[in-house]
A and B are shown apart, each in its own frame.
Chain A
Amino acid sequence: MNPHLCRVALRPRGPLEVFDLSLRLIHAHAGRFLRLGLLFVLPWALLGGAAVALSELDVLVLVLLPLIFFPLQAPATLLGGRLLFADTVSIRSVVYELTSMLRPLALAWAWQAGTLSLGVGCGLVPLVIVLPVTAYITETSLLERVGAARSFRRSARLAGSNPGIALAASAGWVALTMWGALVAESGGQALIGFVLQLGQPFGALSTGQITPYMIFGILAVQPIYAIYRLLLYVDVRTRVEGWDLQVGLRAAGLEER
């Protein structure tokens, strides 16, 4: 890993272009992200899908689902963050690094969940304000390696310096999650109902039921969203703190020496 040479062209971009860039990053390391998805997303998707299909707990599953978004996004954030400065990163090293940072990360998430619950639950602050403030907490915890309180402050500061991008991060999560649910639901119904002619063994979203396809779709897009948010974090640091300049000047400084 060379921390002085970023593999992504750093320049201020719009949130929509950042999403396109996140797809390029995933495409460039498709094998790694696929392995990571098989390791982290598939077990949860199977578990959630089975819970919905085999029990009457579908509403409970849907309520509890957001709790596993954080652990699904974190490995992708870490892998993406390492791939910004390295051509090859092993999944094993990502898992090892993640487990070594689990405690501060869990504290940061607890802080985030607490803020969201307090702000929205008490009716003090609307979700549209609270959500962007805590948007970058996973990035600040994992990539800047700071404690929970400091990562929360950093996230709030970055979000406050460019609220539009932080809002885009939250809106992106809503849009991508809905898109994942819809596409997986339609795809699943088409495959099982039309191609295999098995009807609707798990019900259908159109009849108000929560299906395993939908659960799979919601979970499958979380790592993609994590990469999008990571690159938004990079973008906001580039705009506000001149992160691209930092990388360039440090590389030039080392060259001079």
Chain B
Amino acid sequence: MELLDTTATIETPERVSFRYRLAGPGQRSVAWIIDLAFQILVIALVVVLLLPLGLAAGLEGVGAGLQYLAMFVVQWFYGVVFETLLAGRTPGKLLLDLRVVRVDGSPGRFPDYLLRNLMRFADFLPVAFGIGVLTMAMDPRLRRLGDLVAGTVVVAEDKANMLGDVVLEPPVSEAERRALPPRIELSHDDLQVIEAFLRRRPKLSDDRAEELARLLGPALSERTGVEAPSWERVLTLAWARATGRDRPVEAPAPPPAPAEPAPPESRS
């Protein structure tokens, strides 16, 4: 059964599936507010620069015209320019780790960015992205009208966090290792849930950890014969034996001693 999540799965022509995290109105609204602030800053800068220029030249109308032109260009092409230059990201999206990609997961192209940004004004109607948010709410991939037309989707990029090794605290002692059954088989689901438990253990209180471990510990102990003073330890030991993590950690080999210079060969 597919669990409800903010992810979507893509299958490549080579039948390789991969998952990406979707970004909906929650995440995108904050990115948009940052972009809006950035646009206001750019427009203000242009106004400050162009107004004195027009006044100095005695052409107030030209200065004002250039300002309106600047506002038009910034409002309509801000997204297109930045998404093209930053590979699907505006400064707001960059700060929130969001990126525009095509629905098949491939990088977006200039026509895609142009199309989705031209449709932004339809999404904005009647105000505050009313149509855009409603469209996102009705689309399983959380796409607004512009995304639907351009065939794009906004994804949240996960930071590349490599999970470290599970730290068993305290490590399995020699006495515990000897008392363990020689072989323990755990299902894939059991292994996963116990590993998740061990990884999150430092963030849980002792009482809560024991309360959680009691949900699986008794049944596991009965089946595998693992015995320990606490249910948490039963889970730890069973997981350690099943995954081979109950073996003593080998101390890293000392670095090789620097080779002594060979005595000069004596020539006779």
Contacts and interface: CB of A to CB of B under 8 A. Distances in A.
A-B interaction = yes
Contact of A190 (B126, B187, B194): B126
Interface string B32-53: 0000000000000000000000
Interface string A225-249: 0000000000000010110111011
Interface residues of A, number: 43
Interface in A1-19: 5-9, 13-19
A128 interface: no
A9 B197 CA distance: 16
B27 A17 contact: yes
Contacts of A189: 126
* Residue of B142, B213, B216 with most chain A CB atoms under a 10 A cut-off: B216
Contacts of B184: none
Given A179-B128, A190-B126, A245-B193, A252 B200 contact: no
B128 A253 contact: no
B5 A20 contact: no
A187 interface: yes
A186 interface: yes
A14 B27 CA distance: 9
Given A182-B128, A245-B193, A252-B190, A23 B215 contact: no
Interface in A143-161: none
A5 B203 CA distance: 23
A249 B216 contact: yes
Interface residues of B, number: 48
A249 B212 contact: yes
A172 B222 CA distance: 47
Interface string B112-149: 00000000000000111010010011111010000000
Contact of B25 (A5, A7, A14, A20): A20
B27 A245 contact: no
A131 interface: no
B197 A23 contact: no
Tell me the interface secondary structure of chain A in the complex: helix
Contact of A20 (B23, B203, B212): B23
A183 B220 contact: no
Interface stretch (A24-32, A71-79, A132-140): A24-32
A21 interface: yes
A55 B24 CA distance: 40
A15 B30 CA distance: 12
Contacts of B140: 24, 27
A232 B197 CA distance: 21
A9 B130 contact: no
Contact of A8 (B3, B190, B208, B222): B3
B159 interface: no
A13 B7 CA distance: 12
Contacts of B24: 19-20, 23-24
B130 A187 contact: yes
Contact of A186 (B5, B23, B130, B223): B130
A92 interface: no
Interface in B4-31: 4-7, 21-27, 29-30
A182 B127 contact: yes
B215 to A, nearest CB: 4
Contacts of A183: 126-128, 130, 133
Interface of B: 1, 3-7, 21-27, 29-30, 126-128, 130, 133, 136-140, 142, 156, 187, 189-190, 192-194, 196-197, 200, 203-204, 208, 212-213, 215-216, 218-220, 222-223
Which 10 residue pairs across A and B have the least CB separation, nearest first?
A19-B26, A20-B24, A256-B219, A186-B126, A16-B26, A183-B130, A9-B5, A248-B193, A186-B127, A249-B215
16 contacts: A9-B7, A20-B6, A183-B126, A183-B127, A183-B133, A242-B197, A245-B197, A248-B189, A249-B193, A249-B197, A249-B215, A255-B189, A256-B190, A256-B219, A256-B223, A257-B219
Interface of A: 5-9, 13-21, 23-28, 30, 179, 182-183, 186-187, 189-190, 239, 241-242, 244-246, 248-253, 255-257
Given A20-B25, A21-B4, 6 more contacts: A20-B6, A20-B22, A20-B26, A21-B5, A244-B196, A245-B193
